[in-house]
Amino acid sequence: MIHDSDGFNQWEAGQTYALRTINKILDEKCIPPKAFLESYGQILENALKPDSDPDLAARALTLPEVSYIGQHRENVDPPTIYKIRHDLIAAIRGEYGDLIQKIYGANMPVNEFSLSGEAMARRALRNVALRLLDDPHLAKAQYDAADNMTARVGALRVLADKDGALGQAAFDDFYDRFKEHALVVDKWFSIQAMAARDDIMNVLEKLRRHLDFNIKNPNRARSLFSSFAHSNPAGFHMADGSGYRFLTEAVIELNGVNPQIAARLLTPLREWRRYTSDRQEKMKQALQKILDTPKLSPDVFEIASKSLRN
């Protein structure tokens, strides 16, 4: 991870090391190993060197996502995986906050917006540093000063996880700026649907009632329901089953509107056997409720019935 001369090998070794570290913390309920933190600190220091590759640094500093970690575990518990990953980032920030802040500052834009490879890599590295710092005030400042979509979306991803006036102001401004651009509004919905928040169900219901949400619009439906079910594992797999119920209601409603999208939304429920026993029961109940729906489309029936049998 630190010394290999090949960039891909460095990244792959880092992902493997991080995965093993997170699994160790999950299995042994231990604190983050000092050796891992020191190695991560070396990557941070390397990212500040004049000859460093910002694109490689951005990738190397990004820990494996919750879904990827879950693929390497039995009896998956996504909210717990999220918490361990979140706590590991907090430990990194506690140890190297000043260094991360330097990386963020070193990649501030100094010239006019550019689409060069180096400029895009620096924007990516800056957003990674922002995620690591997890500071809503800094994220709001980046949003307010942004002259490009990458910076705005990077700031919104941090603010989406926070409940407060700063985030609300940024999301309101973003919507007002781009409400005439459908694909950008789709992004606005999806960022909020992927937020890691305890009140995510309230957020989803609010978005569901938004004047610009139309379940008959395929892209808009995917931006809310698919973003949540596929890209928010901690929220979707909450222990109380509320995420499953939200998706079930969406599938039943979409069954009569767009059965192809309804069928695709079932994908996260198809692997119910991989999760903890309590989640397995709730996922099976969701599939059964869908199967009990009158006038179920052939597309939805096929996937739901096969999912329960497999």
The secondary structure of the chain, three-state, reads CCCCCCHHHHHHHHHHHHHHHHHHHHHHCCCCCHHHHHHHHHHHHHHCCCCCCHHHHHHHCCCCCHHHHHCCCCCECHHHHHHHHHHHHHHHHHHHHHHHHHHHHHCCCCCCCCCCHHHHHHHHHHHHHHHHHCCHHHHHHHHHHCCCHHHHHHHHHHHCCCCCHHHHHHHHHHHHHHCCCHHHHHHHHHHHHCCCCCCHHHHHHHHHCCCCCCCCCHHHHHHHHHHHHHHCHHHHCCCCCHHHHHHHHHHHHHHCCCHHHHHHCCHHHHCHHHECHHHHHHHHHHHHHHHCCCCCCHHHHHHHHHHHHC
pLDDT value, residue 252: 97
Classify domain 179-310 by CATH number: 1.25.50.10
* Max Cα-Cα span within the chain: 64
Question: CA angle, corner 295, sides to 292 and 300, nearest 5?
Answer: 70
Burial of 34 per CB tally in 10 Å (0-12, 13-18, 19+) = exposed
So what's the pLDDT on residue 204?
98
pLDDT at 113: 82
Please give the class, per CATH, of domain 1-134.
Answer: mainly alpha
pLDDT of residue 201: 97
**pTM for the full model?**
0.93
Average pLDDT of adjacent 10-residue blocks, the chain of 310 residues = 87 95 96 95 94 94 96 94 97 97 92 84 96 97 95 97 94 97 98 96 97 96 97 97 97 95 95 95 97 95 92
Q: What pLDDT shows up at residue 116?
A: 86
Q: CATH 1.25.50.10 in the chain, residues?
A: 1-134, 179-310
Return the pLDDT at 83: 97
